[in-house]
Amino acid sequence: MTPNLSSARKRGRPSLNRNVTNSEPADEIIALGLPENRGGDEGDKQSQDHRMTVGNQNCTFLQQDHPSKNMTIEIQVDKPPDDAASLNLHLGQPQPSGNEFTESLKAALTGLKPQIERLEQLLTSINDEHRGLGAVRRSLYSSKDKLAKDLKKAQECLIDVEESTATEEEIVRDLEGVYKKHPGDNKLRAFLDERKKTVIEYQKVYIIVKSQLGKNSAELSKTESGIQSVNRRLGQLEAERAEVMKEKERADKAMKSMMFMSQFMERGWQVSVDRFGQAFGDEAVQTAF
């Protein structure tokens, strides 16, 4: 019985355009040796047995006669990995414990604590100075208000003394004119002398008030200058405090982050990752790590 060559060819002949799967041998040469047709007792057959060598195995299949005397077909395909060892996968080995990372966290925490303490001390010093200067400024403002009021009173008093002195001097001039008309009037003379004494007293008061006015004015200027200096220093302290607070906030944030990571790594890297995955899912683990 003549075998069905078409069916045999479909079953045994590899396709040149086929897709190679992982289960097929790869990176090997498939050689199809087609010897010339010698005829013989079985010359009536339309095909002969030929050998297909795959690796170290031989298999027989039916091939139709071909016009070529000798023909070799080579098919080159990619060779998949034979096993996990070819990919250097050592799944049986223990995973990294993260001890070095944990130790680095501890070292960072140890180094960060004195920095935070230094910032806290600096912040305390700034606050103490700011508080003290705040009290000084309040005192200076109180002194300024008092000096301003005293200065205003002195100015008003000086004006009154000037007016009173001018009035008394005018009275004295009038009395002197009357006394010239009545030179023997002793009472008028005594009254004139009293008015002259009053003018002298006013002049003394004027000198005192004017001197006090100058002192008050100088003291007020000094107080205002002190207030400006205190305000300038307070502004510097506030800027320094803001900068220190920002730095401390960054340090506190870093401390919290490292403490969280340290607690997270407390039971080991792999256990921590597993717990993270159980809590947030595998996608979160892939994203985070």
Summarised one tens digit per residue, pLDDT across range 190-219 is 999 999 999 999 999 999 999 989 999 999
| 65 and 156 fall within a common domain | no
> Whole-number mean pLDDT of the chain?
72
In a domain, 39, yes or no: no
CA-closest candidate to residue 209, choices 161, 248, 177? 161
Phi, psi angle pair for 63, to nearest 5°: -135, 135
| 148 and 5 fall within a common domain | no
Question: Average pLDDT in the 229-255 region?
Answer: 94
What pLDDT score does 168 carry? 92
Which CATH number characterizes residue 186's domain? 1.10.287.1490
Cβ pair 196, 172 in contact under 8 A: yes
Rounded distance between C-alpha atoms, residue 114 and residue 75, angstroms:
71
In a domain, 52, yes or no: yes
Kindly state the tokens that stand for 167.
């009035």
| 128 and 70 fall within a common domain | no
| 193 and 241 fall within a common domain | yes
| 155 and 197 fall within a common domain | yes
What pLDDT score does 12 carry? 45
In a domain, 284, yes or no: no
The domain of 5 spans 1-16+24-34+48-78
Q: For residue 80, is it left (φ>0), alpha (ψ between -120 and 50) or beta?
A: beta
In a domain, 207, yes or no: yes
| 135 and 197 fall within a common domain | yes
Query: How many domains does the structure of the chain reveal?
Result: 2
Cβ pair 64, 10 in contact under 8 A: no
Phi, psi angle pair for 92, to nearest 5°: -80, -15
Rounded distance between C-alpha atoms, residue 78 and residue 18, angstroms:
12
| 131 and 243 fall within a common domain | yes
Whether 21 shows a pLDDT value over 80: the answer reads no
pLDDT tens, residue by residue, 31-66: 444 444 444 444 444 444 444 444 444 444 444 444
Whether 128 shows a pLDDT value over 90: the answer reads yes
In a domain, 109, yes or no: yes
pLDDT tens, residue by residue, 67-116: 444 444 444 444 444 444 433 434 344 444 456 766 777 788 888 889 88
Rounded distance between C-alpha atoms, residue 248 and residue 115, angstroms:
9
pTM: 0.51
What pLDDT score does 9 carry? 43
| 105 and 185 fall within a common domain | yes
| 231 and 155 fall within a common domain | yes
